[in-house]
Amino acid sequence: MSPTYDVIVIGLGGMGSAAAHHLSARGARVLGLERFGPVHNRGSSHGGSRITRQSYFEDPAYVPLLLRSYELYEELERATGREIATLCGGVMIGRPDSRTVSGSLLSAERWDLPHEMLDAPEIRRRFPTLSPDDDEVALYEARAGFVRPENTVAAHLQLATRQGADLHFEEPMTRWEPYRDGVRVHTAENTYTAGRLVICPGAWAPRLLTDLGVPFTIERQVMYWFQPKGGVGPFLPGDHPIYIWEDAAGVQAYGFPAIDGPELGAKVAFFRKGAVTTPETIDRTVHQDEIQAMADHMSRHVPDLPGAFLKAATCMYSNTPDEHFVIARHPAHPQTVTVACGFSGHGFKFVPVVGEILADLALTGATDHPIGLFDPHRLAAAPARGVRT
């Protein structure tokens, strides 16, 4: 039998790597188990960039967590010397009554967040790369920007290792069970015991958390990189913001400045416009009709962007029916098991604070952070969400 740990963390992607760091920083003896290698691209914590923002259209309840996450970004950068967050400014664009605009404004006003409201002529003047319709407006947030997912995961793993965590890669959990006052975790290589278990399964939640009572839906997503017509000059950070753009039909697309130079151009994607899949059956090939659909959509909003297609990559959203997270002690095992899952395509910006919350829950059973919105009991009777089109 392997040594007894204080906490075993299952999954070392975004949330799990942060949990391993925060737990080990508090002196816990931590074992982390990951089915792939470190900082892999088989789940959701990859792709070079993720948007971060505070004027949160999903729900004002997220804002306190975002404010703490921003603090933790800075701490992570200082501790590791890695580039984590770049606040280049961002615009949430759409008609005034769109969820993207009205929800962002609600959060900004409720939490007194600095912001500006821009009409269409002002959007065009400030950001000539963008071409809004006359009836569209934008909320501009100077403290929006992007985070580096691979750097963030690598930084948390670096700190966890430095603090004594035992991290095992290419060693997935096969099953776990209650054992004495804690848990016993089995892999193909070994059996481990611990007082507590933290499960951060990502897209593997439907398989690993069948007893949670949450109808997860796993959705294939595609990220695209285009070379702007005429080069990346107007698309560099400082001139071109991150953006989320909701059109009249309710379709949301999002994009970034050219943050990696001319070789990778600028990244864009649809937000929630993918097919239901599983981690085992996901189509990793990006097809020509998908590339053309993305280019056609962006040509109406950012006319100079869809020049030469450079590359694409797939990832997965792990959706809950209401698109809010699940972060809680496991209802069936509240003394020993903590879960973090169902981040529904908007979770990565919360990685540092979720790690802090998971350490709180695993070690003390409670957290001062506001996580009532993420109780899995709300979803026990909810149907799984199908394909969004």
115 is in an annotated binding site: no
18 is in an annotated binding site: yes
- CA–CA separation, 179 vs 199, rounded Å? 16
25 is in an annotated binding site: yes
6 is in an annotated binding site: yes
26 is in an annotated binding site: yes
81 is in an annotated binding site: no
The phi-psi region of residue 230 (left if phi > 0; otherwise alpha if psi is between -120 and 50; otherwise beta) is left
223 is in an annotated binding site: no
30 is in an annotated binding site: yes
91 is in an annotated binding site: no
32 is in an annotated binding site: yes
The answer to whether the Cα torsion of 36, 286, 257, 342 is positive or negative is negative
The answer to whether the Cα torsion of 113, 119, 124, 125 is positive or negative is negative
The Cβ-side half-sphere exposure at 79, using a 13 Å CA radius, reads 19
8 is in an annotated binding site: yes
274 is in an annotated binding site: no
119 is in an annotated binding site: no
- CA–CA separation, 263 vs 185, rounded Å? 44
33 is in an annotated binding site: yes
13 is in an annotated binding site: yes
327 is in an annotated binding site: no
20 is in an annotated binding site: yes
123 is in an annotated binding site: no
157 is in an annotated binding site: no
3-state SS string for the chain: CCCEEEEEEECCCHHHHHHHHHHHHCCCCEEEECCCCCCCCCCCCCCCCEEECCCCCCCHHHHHHHHHHHHHHHHHHHHHCCCCEECCCEEEEECCCCHHHHHHHHHHHHCCCCCEEECHHHHHHHCCCCCCCCCCEEEEECCCEEECHHHHHHHHHHHHHHCCCEEECCCCEEEEEEECCEEEEEECCCEEEEEEEEECCHHHHHHHCHHHCCCCEEEEEEEEEEECCCCCHHHCCCCCCEEEEECCCCCEEEECCCCCCCCCCEEEEEECCCCECCCCCCCCCCCHHHHHHHHHHHHCCCCCCCCEEEEEEEEEEEECCCCCCEEEECCCCCCCEEEEECCCCCCHHHHHHHHHHHHHHHHHCCCCCCCHHHCHHHHCCCCCCCCCC
214 is in an annotated binding site: no
2 is in an annotated binding site: no
Q: Which residues are annotated as a binding site for FAD?
A: 6-36
Q: Which residues are annotated as a binding site?
A: 6-36
